[in-house]
Structure 1
Amino acid sequence: MAPQRKRKTATDSTLQLQRLTEANVARLGLISIQERIPSDFTRWEVDFEIDGRLGQLSCFSPAEYGGVPHGLDGDVANALIDIFIETGSPESGVVTTTASQVLLRAGLHNNGHYHHVLTESLRRLKQATYTMSHAWRDHEHQRWTSGTFSYVLAYEITSGERDTVTSGAVLSVTLARQIVQSIRARYVKPLDYGFLTSLERPLTRALYRLLDAKRYDPQDLSRSFASYTVNLLEWAAECKIVDRRTDKVRRTLEGAHQELQERGYLQDVLVEGRGRKQTLTYVFGAPTPDLTLDPELVAELVTHRVARPVARKLVETYGETRVRTRLARFKALLASGYRVRSPSALLVDIIRDDDEKYVDPTGAERAAGTVTTSRPPSAAVDPDLEDQERDAAFQALSLEEQADRAMPTLQLLLKNRLDTMQYARIRSAMAEGRADAGLIVKAVTKAVFEGRTDEALEQLTLL
């Protein structure tokens, strides 16, 4: 029996906020929503009308790789895009991360079963070839384009077994040029990651991603719709469902419809007509009303290009005191000369960070703590005692867990200054106890704050 999928809670720090995803990938549904497909399902083709013209999208993937991308491949692909955006969307298109981070972001367990799933997904995402005609939105030039690409252009796995993901594996994944350019041109849409990863079935998660993309006008992503109507068989083609008989299509979608309605994402699913003329109308649930907490602090976050709804959510979730102190930490980091492609993304990450990835050697937070707020004052806390408790909790983790906690921080700070093999060696040194993960993170963070990144890199290469 396969291990159960990992359930996320509302307190998971990586999933509390609304995030972004590339809008073309989401709208086109490049990956079949079905959890399992027959081995001979190696190609599909979809025709659709867009702006009064015929658009077309097709996929081919060899049978020896398990057919076309499907099921959990969608969770893996979505996780890669999310990590790519979070790390500043580098022009190279390279995502350097660990297997455990990809699985965490995909909402999957970090165990042998899902190591195999990740290995197979990477192979399919690289081998599958997509061909499109008048289907891909070029946001920068406001036009529809054609072309051919693979979701993953190339990838490297640094692990104990050749080309196979194992515990502690370091991944270097190069995304398709089209996806990279689209993200860098900010053709992105919101995605509620907490809701997504809380859904039980891969099929429900896949349908949610596709439906949520259909809520937005592809030519103007600021416009959203209250409902979406589609012919049942055309929808089956967009979902890449194998058996296109109308009764089978409805049964395939039934469980996902039920879960999305129970969770409030869908208000209703209306079925009209008979046979091949059946249509589905998805009526979306009401959006969460805007919050009106601490407009002054929200306005300050907005000046740093944090979206207003996200800024309001940050203040509501974490409180004024934490947001103010983390804002001071963010300002100190920038003042130290730290360069980042997306300051707003860094600010949000600093505010929601529960793992203390970002230290404050300048003492800016102490000063921020003197700011008067409208909330009742909290009991005094000894910062030294807090540090000791945090260090003790970290040291109580296994060496493998310490290494897994440390790697995302090092990758965020150093980005592509180190290659995959170097990151793998550093992780091995920490996991084997030859280097102290906590001390390394503190030393590298302090070095980056103080403009001594080259010095830190030199020390790391000696591990």
Structure 2
Amino acid sequence: MTSSSAPVLRSKFDDLNLAEASLISCLTRLKPGETSWEHSFEIAGRQMHVECLGNSYGFPHGPDNDMMLVLSNLYLEQGQPKDNAVHCSAYELLRMLGRTDSSQNYRIMHDSLTRLSGTLYKIAGWLDHPGGTARRVTFRFLERIEEIQGQARHLNLKSFGAGTKLKITLDKVVAASLSSPRVRPFDLDFMLKLSGSQSRTLFRLLDTLWYSDPHTAAQGFLEYDLIELGQLLRLINLRPDSIRRTIVPIHEELIASEFLQSATFSGRGSKQRVKYVFNPQRPDYPLTVEQLELVGRIKALGITDTQARAYVRKHGPGRVRERVAMAEGILASTTRFRKSRGAYAWDILVDESGKYAYAPPKLSRETQVPGSRTPKTAESEKEAEQEFEALRRSQLQLPPDEQWAVHRSALRLLLQRPLGADLWKVLEASCCSGDLEASVLLSEANAAVATLTLQAFMDNLKDTLMAHSSAGASA
């Protein structure tokens, strides 16, 4: 069976009850006899107490974090079956976990399912809905695992193979929680791209803490006692130096993947704390309409699309809007640039020293200070305007399909996501047929970005495209 036949898991959610209880240990391996843990803690403003009683395979750890999330989303994707059971082959489950088809990975998957079905959790602080009354629950994540083999003589195999068909039944407490308002969107794709199970476990924990605590989201950082963090990661050795050895390599990956800006330690010994500063937005997140408008304004300053997008993702929209307005004001009153207009604008945007201030409004022709604008500069600006206008006229004279080919990338950047796939196809057909002119459309879209009227522009464009679509259907 090839990887191309593997299913695509479209559901991307996490259950806050499971995530806030932090049920899976960050450890990659356990010593014999390590089968249980217990912890009282505060999270999202409420007290929780969790007791974990594992089996001979130990308590859930390492890859079990991935398994818990994938099975939760498979349950949601298969329509929340009334019997709480999901159906898949061992191969399909392995591929959804992002693992290769190997005997070792089948064994790892078998052991993971065995731990999740054989471990008893007792949790005080379980919520059925936001703001509700907390209660105590006792459950196993999985109630039952059934193997359906093609031939009876294979049923006694310890591990699974590619042909194994599985029926995996979730505990009724877990299934009920997955049907509650305590389920939230979660970036499962990003998590599974992280290279190590420890990185994926800490990512899930930090992302949950960030989501659950409104103060963390507002401040952009999270600070925890080092030993308390070690307990939340379900580490056995809670010596500060041991915890640091475990989490420092994880920090490096989460910073490299741009989930974290930084992770710093303070204090000494058992009094140490760790502070996580989050990036406002990771590279894989789609830009909002507001961010696209800011990207357009930054590009108009002579900065590349790549730089503009990276800058908008790195900073909050309030700061970006303030710096862009400053750059626009300064550039409007500047006639000569040491390097280039774009390089000067970029230096203004990224400056942290405070060397730039808002420029005064540009003087009108009647009130300009004599000599402030040399004839040579005015002539250069006029020539640039004439060249731009000549280019625009030449593009307008191109056949409709060639205009579309020239401007397709720029239009896609601005319009494809807000239009959606269906209307984007209508737009392409309308531009190629000549019903709409791609050059004019791009000019109007850029003007809308610059004047902060992109939403109104999009509404009008959608109405136009829907009318074209209806006309085409009736014809």
Q: Could you tell me the TM-score, scaled by structure 2's length?
A: 0.57
**203, 207, 214: which is aligned to 1:208?**
203
Q: What residue number does 1:245 align with?
A: 239
Alpha-carbon offset, residue 187 of structure 1: 1.6
One of 239, 249, 261 as aligned partner of 2:255:
261
**Structure 2: distance between partners of 1:99 and 1:212:** 29
Give the alignment partner of residue 194 of structure 1, picking from 189, 197, 201: 189
Counterpart mapping for 1:192-341 below 5 A? 192-217=187-212, 226-287=220-281, 288=285, 290-292=287-289, 324=421
Show structure 1 runs of 5+ residues with no match.
1-7, 296-314, 328-367, 379-463
Aligned to 1:84: 75
Measured after TM superposition, the shift of residue 88 of structure 1 is: 1.9
- Structure 2 unaligned spans of 5+: 293-411, 434-475
Q: 2:135 aligns with which of 145, 148, 155?
A: 145
Mapped to 2, the partners of 1:91 and 1:206 lie a distance apart of 30
**Given the alignment, which residue of 1, 15, 19 partners 1:26?**
19
Equivalent pair of 2:11/2:74 in contact (CA under 8 Å): no
Pairwise CA RMSD: 3.5
User: Aligned partners of 1:70 and 1:372: how far apart in 2?
Assistant: 50
**More helix, by proportion:** 2
SS at match of 1:154: strand
SS in 2 for 1:216: helix
Residue in structure 1 matching 2:103, options 109, 112, 122 = 112
C-alpha deviation, 1:255, in angstroms: 0.9
AA in 2 matched with 1:55? M
Q: Is residue 215–residue 224 contact of structure 1 (8 Å, CA) maintained in 2?
A: no
Question: 1:100 & 1:375 partners in 2: Cα distance?
Answer: 45
Q: Deviations over 1:16-53 (max 9, x none)?
A: x7821212212221110111111211110111135776
- The match for 1:60 is 53
**Contact 1:267-1:283 within 8 A present in 2 as well:** yes
Task: Report the 3-state secondary structure (helix = DSSP H, G, I; strand = E; otherwise coil) of the residue aligned with 2:123.
Answer: strand
Equivalent in the alignment of 2:37: 44
Match of 1:136 among 104, 111, 126: 126
Q: CA deviation at 1:188?
A: 1.6
| TM-superposed deviation, 1:140 | 6.7
Letter matched to residue 136 of structure 1:
W
Question: Contact between 2:24 and 2:234, CA under 8 Å: does it hold in 1?
Answer: yes
* 1:215 partner SS: helix
- Aligned counterparts of 1:267 and 1:208: Cα–Cα separation in 2: 13
TM norm structure 1: 0.59
Query: Shift of residue 80 of structure 1?
Result: 0.8
From the superposition, tell whether residues 377 and 113 of structure 1 become closer, same or farther in structure 2 (CA, over 3 Å): farther
User: What SS does the corresponding residue of 1:117 show, helix, strand or coil?
Assistant: helix
Task: Return 152-161 or 237-246, whichever deviates more.
Answer: 152-161
Tell me, yes or no, if the aligned pair for 2:11 and 2:77 is still in contact at 8 Å.
no
Measure the CA separation in 1 of the matches of 2:70 and 2:288.
28
Percent of residue pairs identical: 27
8 Å CA contact retained: 1:157, 1:164: no
- Conserved in 1, the CA contact under 8 Å of 2:12 and 2:185? yes
User: Which one of 82, 92, 95 corresponds to residue 86 of structure 2?
Assistant: 95
Counterpart check, 1:71 vs 2:66:
no
Q: Deviation at 1:186?
A: 3.2
Counterpart of 2:98, as a letter, is G
Question: What SS does structure 1 have at the residue aligned with 2:243?
Answer: helix
User: What CA deviation, in whole Å up to 9, does each residue of 1:175-198 have, x standing for no partner?
Assistant: 122221122113222222222121
How far 1:174 moved relative to its partner?
1.1
**CA-CA distance at 1:91 after TM superposition:** 3.5
Residue matched to 1:170: 165
Amino acid corresponding to residue 176 of structure 1 in structure 2 = D
Kindly provide the amino acid, as one letter, of the partner of residue 117 in structure 2: K
Describe the superposition over 1:357-416 as per-residue Cα deviations: whole angstroms up to 9, x where unpaired: xxxxxxxxxxx97x44588549xxxxxxxxxxxxxxxxxxxxxxxxxxxxxxxxxxxxxx
CA contact (8 A) 2:145 2:166 kept: yes
Partner of 1:402: none
CA contact (8 A) 1:18 1:192 kept: no
Q: CA deviation at 1:289?
A: 6.3
Partner residue, 2:144: 154
Q: What is the Cα deviation at residue 89 of structure 1?
A: 2.1
- Is the 1:32–1:239 Cα contact (8 Å) retained in structure 2? yes
Following superposition, the deviation at residue 77 of structure 1 comes to 1.7
2:348 aligned residue? none
One-letter code aligned to 1:292: V
Q: Distance in 2 between matches of 1:18 and 1:86?
A: 6
The structure with higher relative contact order (CA 8 Å, sep 6+) is: 1
CA contact (8 A) 1:34 1:241 kept: yes
SS of the equivalent of 2:134 reads: strand
Counterpart residue identity of residue 291, structure 1? T
Corresponding position of 2:444: none
